[in-house]
């Protein structure tokens, strides 16, 4: 299971008062980075809906929220499918009346060498990722435009800027999502909707076990700030972008990576 006990997700040291009582829908919010984003937003006083495919993890996550007195809704379904996406949006609107913030966090990844790709891997790794962002943004964007206000935050990746080995489809999808973020920001700005992306670097997206520790230490050695990020590092930036403090920011991709993409070479290597 990649779901955190809620007490293991640190809080952010700042409150964005204007987020209180607003409604956030976080896709892929039952685990990992999505769960961390949902936890941060909930602690800002937002009403939370999380949509995802894993019933076990979703029910665990939503139970944690309810035990903490957080008003939260779990919606199960594969939002890459049109019917499930529309059902998820309808359930959230029926429960809370509106959606003020959409966080497109859900993603699909299959690591395969490029020459081993086939159509199924391509569609899963590339097309599915872009489709989820497009479909949810298009439907929720229409709802937001009717009110003349809203925020969309797409969770991208450093892979949209720098390539991972074995992840050509995923990285290409994230690059497309960065481009889609810019295009949507222009189209939706006249409707009072801001659109930005957050690109995580190396993030501990599940509870770190003793077995994981050597790998995380190797990751940290190549990061300028000297540590692997946590889910709150991403959630805090999402909260900022959702708030009125960021009211003049749209069309941007914010890299939250400890300086990873700023460097030409890893530590100890000189050219």
Measured in degrees and rounded to the nearest 5, phi and psi for residue 122 equal: -60, -50
Treating both helix axes as pointing N-terminal to C-terminal, what angle do 128-147 and 82-96 enclose, rounded to 10 degrees? 30
The kind and range of the H/E element at 86 are helix 82-96
**122 tagged catalytic:** no
Burial degree of 211 (CB within 10 A; 0-12, 13-18, 19+) = exposed
Strand order in the sheet with 47-52: 72-76, 47-52, 23-27, 101-104, 150-155, 193-200, 253-256
Give the residue among 185, 200, 151, 206 at the shortest CA–CA distance from 16: 151
To which residue do tokens 């690591």 refer?
111
For residue 35, what are the CA distances in angstroms to 161, 202, 221? 24, 16, 26
Can you tell me the distance from the alpha carbon of 129 to that of 167, in angstroms, rounded to the nearest whole number?
Answer: 13
State how far the Cα of 15 lies from the Cα of 269, in Å rounded to an integer.
41
Distance (Å, whole) CA 80 – CA 102: 15
Which one is catalytic: 134, 170, 248, 255?
Answer: 170
Strand partners of residue 15: none
Establish how many alpha carbons lie within 13 A of residue 88's alpha carbon, considering only the half-sphere containing its beta carbon: 32
CB-facing half-sphere around the CA of 238: CA atoms within 13 A = 34
Residues serving a catalytic function are 170
């Amino acid at each position: 299971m990649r779901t955190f006990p809620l007490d293991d997700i640190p809080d952010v040291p700042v409150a964005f008062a204007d987020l209180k009582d607003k409604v956030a829908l976080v896709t892929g919010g039952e685990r990992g980075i999505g769960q961390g984003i949902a936890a941060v937003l909930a602690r800002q006083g937002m009403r939370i809906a999380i949509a995802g495919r894993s019933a076990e993890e979703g029910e665990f996550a939503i139970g944690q929220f309810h035990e903490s007195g957080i008003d939260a809704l779990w919606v199960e379904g594969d939002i890459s499918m049109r019917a499930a996406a529309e059902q998820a949006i309808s359930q959230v609107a029926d429960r809370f009346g509106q959606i003020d913030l959409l966080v497109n966090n859900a993603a699909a990844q299959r690591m395969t060498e490029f020459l081993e790709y086939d159509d199924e891997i391509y569609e899963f790794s590339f097309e599915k990722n872009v489709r989820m962002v497009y479909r949810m943004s298009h439907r929720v964007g229409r709802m937001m435009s009717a009110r003349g206000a809203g925020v969309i935050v797409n969770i991208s990746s450093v892979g949209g800027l720098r390539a991972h080995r074995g992840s050509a489809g995923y990285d290409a999808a994230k690059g497309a999502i960065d481009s889609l973020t810019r295009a949507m920001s222009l189209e939706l700005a006249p409707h009072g909707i801001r659109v930005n992306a957050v690109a995580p670097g190396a993030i501990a997206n599940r509870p770190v076990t003793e077995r994981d520790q050597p790998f995380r230490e190797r990751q940290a050695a190549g990061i300028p700030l000297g540590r692997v990020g946590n889910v709150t590092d991403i959630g805090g930036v999402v909260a900022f972008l959702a708030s009125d403090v960021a009211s003049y920011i749209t069309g941007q991709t914010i890299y939250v990576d400890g300086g990873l993409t700023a460097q030409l070479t890893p530590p100890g290597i000189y050219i």
